[in-house]
Amino acid sequence: MDTFDAINSRRSVKHYDSTHPLTDAEREQLLSLAIQSPTAFNLQHWRFVVVDDPALRQRIRAVAWDQAQVTDASLLLVLCADVASWQKEPARFWQGAPQPVQDILVPAIDGYYRGREQVQRDEAMRSCGIAAQTLMLAARAMGYDSCPMDGFDFDAVARLINLPDDHLITMMVAIGKATQAPWPKPGQLALSDVVIHNRF
């Protein structure tokens, strides 16, 4: 599918064919495309928890307002962020760069993030948001539908997936085959309402 078509036709779908599986190759392709997303300092904060245990999906659904896509979608991802990735062997993120670039950027990572907890969290959230959009557009291009989700008990899901203390959950993303068409877009703002030139 053309990129423009994928963007224009992507919708948040709630109803999925629970009998349709993604192949291992499709799953790997989706995740391989997702990790091409950009991140600040190339920290690659995202961690994709693939929930394929049916019993665990049922438990997550129970703390997600009983939303059917949690159990019925072909793929359920809990998109998490390693907030402390900046201090975990940061040189590995730049090992393929020319040495002068490494000499500048690797020390800059520590200088930018140390002692700035809000910045650490904000960067992780931005990174995961970009990765989620990449996932959803890739899924659409492959003929699948998706739904980004924040309608769940974050603390309960964190316990269910054994989330490490230095990670946070940003959202869930359900991907699969829609069983019914979404309703028309309920109200798209005009460009004139959202585009500001130079200053407010």
The reported pLDDT for the residue numbered 1 is 84
The reported pLDDT for the residue numbered 105 is 95
State pLDDT tens for residues 106-128. Answer: 999 999 999 999 999 999 999 99
The reported pLDDT for the residue numbered 181 is 86
The reported pLDDT for the residue numbered 185 is 85
The reported pLDDT for the residue numbered 109 is 97
Q: In what helix (H) or strand (E) does residue 165 lie, and over which residues does it extend?
A: none
CA torsion sign, 121 to 127 to 133 to 135? negative
Q: What is the rounded radius of gyration, in angstroms, for the C-alpha atoms of the chain? A: 19
What is the domain partition of the chain in residue ranges?
A: 3-179
Superfamily of domain 3-179: NADH Oxidase (3.40.109.10)
User: Biggest alpha carbon distance in the chain?
Assistant: 54
Rounded Cα distance between 140 and 11, Å, is 9
Other CB atoms within 10 A of residue 103 CB: 12
Rounded Cα distance between 196 and 191, Å, is 9
The answer to whether 157 and 169 have CB atoms below 8 angstroms apart is yes
The answer to whether 17 and 72 have CB atoms below 8 angstroms apart is yes
| pTM metric for this prediction | 0.93
State pLDDT tens for residues 146-172. Answer: 999 999 999 999 999 999 999 999 999
Rounded Cα distance between 21 and 18, Å, is 8
Rounded Cα distance between 45 and 58, Å, is 27
Q: Which residues of the chain have pLDDT under 50?
A: none
State pLDDT tens for residues 137-153. Answer: 999 999 999 999 999 99
Retrieve residue 31's tokens: 């995740």
CA torsion sign, 89 to 127 to 14 to 179? negative
Rounded Cα distance between 61 and 71, Å, is 7
